[in-house]
Copies of this chain bind each other. A is one copy, B any other.
Amino acid sequence: MSNNTTGSVLWFTGLSGSGKSTLADMTYKHFKTQGLRVEQLDGDTVRQIFPNTGFTKENRIEHIERIGYLCSVLEKHGIIVIASFISPYHSSREFVRNLCHHFIEIYMSTPLSECEKRDIKGLYKKARQNEIQNFTGISDPYEIPKGPEITLNTQNKTIAESFEELLNSIQQETLLPNMTSMTL
């Protein structure tokens, strides 16, 4: 079954704490248990491999473009890529979109106030205290996607509810050709 799938790139973008990694994890596991060929790329994980990657606009754009290229090559080989990166700049997301064939932008629109309230990693607190610079949403911009395929606000929802909404969105739009009917 796995070889009949068309590669796709599900690109989660949004603020830290908006729910990207949580939902990306669940999506990855969901597809994985279906026996599909799937790869997960997460901002934190990739930065561990490249710890010198900075957070300036230039650093971020170069980082995202490189990840996007990786996504596009994996997609070409029929792999479903689940990518979760803050990816705050419109231009770099468009660069990735243009490299890929089936690019599905999933904008996590959870408001900053909610993300900051969650503050799972304690980063917002540090950013407010100027202990961290170039922090998206506080001291660095987040450019809202202009035409995302899916928009998801996780505020006032359980994780299970958000995940169900996400899967429904993917299914409704039949954005994953040759795959959705089998797997969702």
Which of A18-26, A64-72, A107-115, A131-139 is the contact stretch?
A: A64-72
Q: Which label, helix, strand, loop or mixed, suits the secondary structure of the A interface? A: helix
Cα(A69)–Cα(B3), bound, Å: 24
Contacts of A152 in B (CB 8 A): none
A93 is an interface residue with CB less than 8 A from chain B:
no
A68, closest chain B residue (CB)? B49
Contact of A77 among B39, B46, B52 (CB under 8 A): B39
Cα(A52)–Cα(B92), bound, Å: 14
Contact flags (1/0) for A47-91 with B, using CB distance below 8 Å?
001101000000000100110011001101101000000000000
Contacts of A49 in B (CB 8 A): 69, 99
A97 is an interface residue with CB less than 8 A from chain B:
no
Among A52, A77, A99, residue most surrounded by chain B Cβ atoms (within 10 Å): A77
Besides the known contacts A39-B73, A74-B77, 12 further A-B residue pairs in the complex with CB atoms under 8 A apart:
A37-B77, A39-B76, A39-B77, A41-B73, A46-B69, A49-B69, A49-B99, A50-B69, A66-B66, A73-B74, A77-B77, A77-B79
